[in-house]
Structure 1
Amino acid sequence: MELQGLLREIAEKGVLYPNTEAIQMMDEVSNEARELCMKLNTGVYTDEEIRQQMSQIIGQELDENFSLFLPFTTDFGKNIRIGKDAVINSGCRFQDQGGITIGDQSLIGHNVVLATINHDYDPDNRGILHLAPVVLKEKTWIGSNVTILPGVTVGENSVVAAGSVVTKDVAPNTIVGGNPAKLISHLEDKLK
């Protein structure tokens, strides 16, 4: 199996079973991602060098306005897509096997966790992985110490308040916060 086949299988099925070729391939990609993240996080680099290394981790060329503040970790890497002018602050952890999409001009605060994997609820099947993407639409602002769980889409222009745990989709042009995150206000109310 090649990487694109693995990514298609993840997208189509959303479930990975232990001791399969897909899991073995995922482990190989994860090993590479951990090694590349370790290199990235233990050196002193220019912004351009950081962009180049992050491009290698995710397998996508990043635009010159992409900004990443270290440290950063991902446990897979190849299932992250980042739009133009995105900013990722320090201490972020991405679990991207299920897919992470970051829209243009999105801002991600310090210590944000984007998680795309759940284990099976059945104790006898905890090795089964259920994967679902996290999607941040254009111009989202994710506050510091936010956790976004599998399957969540944050609508364009929305704000997620610091410290929130997002368990459900966030409507466009809204501000949410809390654990679990709930509607605080509509963005238009803050722009008056």
Structure 2
Amino acid sequence: MELQTYLDHVNQGKRLEGGSEVHAFMTQAARQAQQITAEINTGYHDGEELRALFSQLIGKPVDEGFGLFPPFTTDFGKNITLGKRVFINSGCRFQDQGGITIGDDVLLGHNVVLATLNHDPVVARRASMLPAPIVIGDKVWIGANATVLPGVTIGKGAIVAAGAVVHRDVPPFTVVGGVPARILRELSQEERQ
């Protein structure tokens, strides 16, 4: 299977059947991602080296304003799209088969989890997975230990409080928090600048 065929499959939200050719490709790709993330997480790398490794991981150029504090893990890598000046703090974990798009000037706190796959809830099909993308708008700040679940879009300028579990879309310029996350307030006009 070719990478683009796989990406077309998951980006259309099609099921990843356990034991299928698509599932086998996903497993193979995960091993490649593990090799690159092991390199990212081993020893010291300056900003230029980290950008080069991350670019290799996602298969696309990474903006020179990109920042990463390892360790970082992802189980695929090739379905991540980054904007400019993205900062990923230490301990973040991406599950990007369903697609992760991160806008410009986004800040991800320690141990943020972005998960784009759900297992099928039907017991007989539990080994199958259902992909759904995560889209993070420009200037979003996601606090430490927050988890964003499959299919969520976080609007421009929003803040996700530390420890939140985000299971539905977040409107622009709002603050959400809690488990499950709910809107706590809207940002003031001054805070939106």
Structure 2: any 5+ residue segments left out of the alignment?
Answer: none
Match of 1:129 in 2: 129
User: Do the aligned residues in 2 keep the contact of 1:14 with 1:98 (CA within 8 Å)?
Assistant: no
Match of 1:20 in 2: 20
TM-score by length of 1: 0.97
Superposed displacement of residue 64, structure 1: 0.7
Number of residue pairs aligned between Structure 1 and Structure 2: 192
Match of 2:10 in 1: 10
User: Do the aligned residues in 2 keep the contact of 1:92 with 1:111 (CA within 8 Å)?
Assistant: yes
- Runs of 4 or more, structure 1, over 3 Å off, are 189-192
User: Do the aligned residues in 2 keep the contact of 1:14 with 1:132 (CA within 8 Å)?
Assistant: no
Amino acid at match of 2:55: S
Amino acid at match of 1:91: G
C-alpha separation in 1, matches of 2:83 and 2:154: 15
C-alpha separation in 1, matches of 2:191 and 2:18: 50
- The 5 A counterparts of 1:29-178 are 29-178=29-178
CA-atom RMSD in angstroms? 1.2
Amino acid at match of 1:18: G
Superposed displacement of residue 7, structure 1: 0.1
Structure 1: any 5+ residue segments left out of the alignment?
Answer: none
Identity %: 51
C-alpha separation in 1, matches of 2:142 and 2:188: 18
Q: Could you say if the C-alpha distance between residues 13 and 135 of structure 1 is closer, same or farther in structure 2, counting changes exceeding 3 Å? A: closer
C-alpha separation in 2, matches of 1:86 and 1:68: 8
C-alpha separation in 1, matches of 2:69 and 2:35: 18
